[in-house]
Amino acid sequence: MLAAKTLFLFILTALAEILGCYLPYLWLKQGATPWLLLPAALSLALFAWLLTLHPNAAGRVYAAYGGVYISVALAWLWAVDGIRPTGWDIAGVSVSLAGMAIIMFAPRGA
């Protein structure tokens, strides 16, 4: 149950970060309204807050979060940008998720 909760929280965190960065991208690169900066800032604040909800040490959470971020970014690539990930992308995601699992769920000494 802890693993599922942790993964779900990481996915929400990654979505908040990606959205917070994607909205300014739309403004800067595609000429969208600068009003997108307001929800972008709120999304990045949500991202930072979500990272604080993990019970582990901050450095461990940040390191493990990177693996989930890679996965969500590739899902975003497919869902939003319309570009299907390659086999190499999937291999990279698998390695990053394995690293995340080792970092977050390895037994720790007292």
Encode pLDDT of 81-103 as tens digits: 999 999 999 999 999 999 988 98
Mean pLDDT to the nearest integer, 26-53: 95
Structural domain total, the chain:
1
* Nearest of 53, 46, 50, 6 to residue 23 by alpha carbon: 46
Q: Rounded to whole angstroms, how far apart are CA atoms 21 and 44?
A: 8
pTM: 0.84
59, part of any domain:
yes
Q: Is the pLDDT of residue 110 over 80?
A: no
91, part of any domain:
yes
Contact 21, 40 (CB under 8 A): yes
Q: Rounded to whole angstroms, how far apart are CA atoms 79 and 34?
A: 24
110, part of any domain:
no
How many CA atoms does the CB half-sphere of 78 hold within 13 Å?
A: 10
Backbone angles phi, psi at 107, to 5 degrees: -65, 140
Q: Name the DSSP letter for residue 56.
A: S
